[in-house]
Structure 1
Amino acid sequence: MKYSFTLKYQLGDADSDHEQIVERLFEAGCDDATIGVGQPGRIALAFTRESTDAWSAIYTALRDVKRAIASARLVEAGPDFVGLTDVADVAGVTRQNMRKLMLTHASQFPLPVHEGNPSVWHLSDVLAWLMSRGGYAVSVDLIEVAKSTKQVNLAKEARELEPRVTRQLSALVA
């Protein structure tokens, strides 16, 4: 099965030759990615990777990129962080309808990762909630990819936690 996802990286100072980077990525097995180099010091790879499951597709892509560009630091894996408009597009409803669902079911609607203007959610959380309600045409493959990219992003952030903080907060943030 083919899985589509995006990996965004920050590049090291030594990796500024985009042509060379593209060549190294291709040689490392990233020939199934469209590569974007618009922002200085950054690179985005939009993958469509064949694999047995979404996690394997994402894991092998992460490994291949790291093999090609050792200095690359993962910024974000997607699809993961979304606003209501993004979720509405995926679910095939209007943003107004999505907002109404959020407000009407405030106690059951997934908690945002960031509450503000705009609020941001993990896509997998909102899609799973919509699926549990029924009546929404949501791709199971997309949910699998979104769950996997969420795990990658959470693991990336968790690396930066101090062990003491993790122990002390684990019971309080559940």
Structure 2
Amino acid sequence: MTEYNFELHFVLPEDRPDSEDHLDALFEAGCDDALVGAGKLGHIALDFTREAKNAEEAILSSVENVMSAIPDARLISASPDLVNLSDMPKVMEKWEVAHLTRQAMRKYAFDQVKKVMRPFPAEALFNGTSLWHMNEVVSWLLDNGKVDRPDRAQELLDLTNSARKLNAALEYARNKAPAFDSFISKVAH
């Protein structure tokens, strides 16, 4: 079993937008391994540290626990997925994968390091902000030998792949695409 650390972001039901109203139900539903953040009325973020056989199981079981506690909540996103240059080293440090600085990540991202196996992943621009998919960054770091703990990097790659897939499925469902599967239709209504 591996311990996975990730965040899930939900919109709360309109008739009960205060996250405080849901804390007991979340605990009783099995979310005792999450820190609950309530920065904006009508929204809730849960920072999970969950043990599971794989990342997908950890994320999906957490979503199911939240949905059983707050049936009308709507899952918005899972992270880590999209990250900026400052977030990359923080995620790596949290996972004990590598001790990299923002400056090092910037050098990699802007091709200022010549001895690499392949170019740094392409960025995705959002409103003028450069973001990268963390799974592509972890894969690049592994391929280029820039990690201290390859075993932990593989676990992080598993997690970031799962978060990205879930976010893609949620986006697909939100855009009124045909039903993706029964799980997505339950959480992305």
User: Is residue 2:164 matched to residue 1:157?
Assistant: no
1:127 to 130, 138, 148: 138
Query: Residue 63 and residue 98 in structure 1: after superposition, are their counterparts in 2 closer, same or farther (change >3 A)?
Result: same
2:101 to 53, 69, 94: 94
Contact map agreement 2:26 2:69 (CA 8 A) in 1: yes
Aligned residues with identical type, % of pairs? 37
**1:118 Cα offset (Å):** 2.6
Q: Look up the equivalent residue of 1:145 and give its one-letter code.
A: L
Q: Deviations over 1:65-102 (max 9, x none)?
A: 11111111112211111001211342422222212212
Task: Give the gaps of 5 or more residues in structure 1.
Answer: 165-174
Corresponding residue for 1:28? 29
**1:129 Cα offset (Å):** 0.8
Q: Deviations over 1:131-172 (max 9, x none)?
A: 1111322522222111111111111001134659xxxxxxxx
How do 1:11-160 and structure 2 match up within 5 A? 11-89=12-90, 90=92, 91-104=98-111, 108-114=119-125, 117-137=128-148, 139=152, 140-160=154-174
RMSD: 2.3
TM-score, normalisation: structure 1:
0.84
TM-score, normalisation: structure 2:
0.77
Q: Secondary structure at the match of 1:63?
A: helix
d(CA) in 2 for partners of 1:159, 1:135: 36
Q: Secondary structure at the match of 1:35?
A: strand
Q: Secondary structure at the match of 1:43?
A: strand
d(CA) in 2 for partners of 1:50, 1:148: 15
d(CA) in 2 for partners of 1:9, 1:115: 21
